[in-house]
Structure 1
């Protein structure tokens, strides 16, 4: 791709086929599940995206990487995303010079492949550019359980005890049955949000390539023999992330989500992870922002950037889904599942 002095070059690799990449990336303190070859495998198997990981080699060894998935859709065009369906995926680099080299390689490749745009999610080295979308993320630095509990907001602690008193119990596991039980709640929650659910095959692959490989778990809240809420937590290296959450709103008064979050925090603490991200949150979702504020983490700004190859510049973007949310809420879950099965591959 591109060479520099000191025997350096940028290569495009497929992390699923490169054992050296996995050995290198897992040793980085900044790596997340989204940098893992398992996440690349999930996306390529579920949606037929092409892994294009722009990797800097120096004297034959990997030194830096900017992960990208190439999405090729008849409906939405060809483009690169760093990284599809991730909350964030910053380049793993030693400094700005390495990032500029990798970024230029991405743009050169995208131009040659006639990409419409290249999207970068949560890249701090693009902070001076115009964002296309903005979110909030919460991150907990994990310590011993007693200290984590002391940081909880009073209302969060009360709701944990309320759920326990009401008889809510939490089952933690990584089997396929748990994933499919969560998926039922995922469909209900997406309908409530006015969004199609991810395809069932995506969650089956999530189990196959991540949870079954020891890179995550489900936590399911049980009440009187029913699964009323759940979450999916993923981890890689020393970092964990709350990736998906869902619930049956008929049981909202039991405060099962509070107990789920606390059990997730406890497990991640006991398993030795250094940090737990609570994922991205829309700036307009005040209720979820307030909920996540109650767990003692730091609230940070999270920006997405989109480089438009036609304009040769970063460009803002409007959320096209907002206009359809009210209509989608009225559709049956079965219809929404069909829309998700047909549409998610093209969203990327």
Structure 2
């Protein structure tokens, strides 16, 4: 039961061990660790306990060392949430303390946890978000009846308009997705993740049958595309992109519905719809209207210098208006240069 620090990439059977332990999500997998490590060069530091060759506790971290933004531990970067798991609250408290002690020795500025629940007693979150989960354990007619009338009408419209769908893991579909991703990020005033990041997703995730790209096409042209991950009985919507010139055809509704049916057909029990900012009421209503349940995401940040949990959000000022006017090619360069420092 002694606590150890390991690198999951050193364990060829890591994902099998996860499935036999606790309540893991896709973000605990070696596939996701491989994407982050190969894309940005971070060092995995996973705190684990073993019991009879079984993982009884897991708390993943990435050690991020940046000349621009300092050194810290994040559980996990570019991840909506990654709940630690263990047998009881005392075990979790000990693991949190071990991470803090390690961070102090490693000269981290802070340690950050991204969870769907409370971390430990006395800890106050520095940031709060919402997340939404769709129950796929019901029958398809039950799921359909749980959708808003607007969604059901839009799905019918996509069929009437002649939209088709494609679900695969090909480089061609990745290219179509990335083209739309860059445009979507520009609209939102943000640089896109580097293409190398998504190529690593293809190599580490999609080719291992842990994810799928769902695309909507009109007259053979991809007009909306989303990337989903899955592990065990849980599926996750991670990235979505679309062409604004075709939104009147409601392609995003079709993409989500086809993904729901596909995951249900593969035995998934739930579909998480990702992170939503509390004040983004439009996105919140969109996700709730799929019949999803809502819960809180809590981000905790322990300041190593102050030896206390911080209540202050750690958010940089992004010049969104400026980014929305910059050509996509330049935004891609910005993303390639700076995302590794954001983490």
Task: Return the match for 2:249 from 251, 254, 269.
Answer: 254
Displacement of 1:59 in angstroms is 5.4
**Count of aligned pairs between the two proteins:** 341
User: Which moved further from structure 2: 337-346 or 60-69?
Assistant: 60-69
Task: Return the match for 2:338 from 326, 337, 343.
Answer: 343
Match of 1:139 in 2: 133
Find out whether 1:53 has 2:54 as its counterpart: no
Q: In 2, are the aligned partners of 1:240 and 1:277 still within 8 Å (CA)?
A: yes
Q: In 2, are the aligned partners of 1:96 and 1:125 still within 8 Å (CA)?
A: no
Find out whether 1:202 has 2:167 as its counterpart: no
Q: 2 CA distance for matches of 1:297 and 1:27?
A: 27
Displacement of 1:253 in angstroms is 0.8
Do the aligned partners of residues 254 and 322 (structure 1) sit closer, same or farther apart at CA in structure 2, a change above 3 Å counting? farther
Q: 1 CA distance for matches of 2:257 and 2:116?
A: 29
Displacement of 1:129 in angstroms is 2.6
Q: 1 CA distance for matches of 2:103 and 2:53?
A: 25
Q: In 2, are the aligned partners of 1:27 and 1:237 still within 8 Å (CA)?
A: no
- Secondary structure, aligned partner of 1:100: helix
Displacement of 1:82 in angstroms is 0.5
Match of 2:215 in 1: 220
Match of 1:95 in 2: 88
Q: In 2, are the aligned partners of 1:91 and 1:123 still within 8 Å (CA)?
A: no
- Secondary structure, aligned partner of 1:85: coil
Do the aligned partners of residues 123 and 299 (structure 1) sit closer, same or farther apart at CA in structure 2, a change above 3 Å counting? closer
Match of 2:290 in 1: 295
Q: 2 CA distance for matches of 1:289 and 1:207?
A: 29
Match of 1:229 in 2: 224
RMSD value, Cα: 1.5
- List gaps (5 residues or longer) in structure 1: 1-7
Displacement of 1:313 in angstroms is 1.0
Match of 1:176 in 2: 171
Query: Normalising to structure 1: TM-score of the pair?
Result: 0.94
- Secondary structure, aligned partner of 1:72: strand
Task: Return the match for 1:75 from 41, 48, 68.
Answer: 68
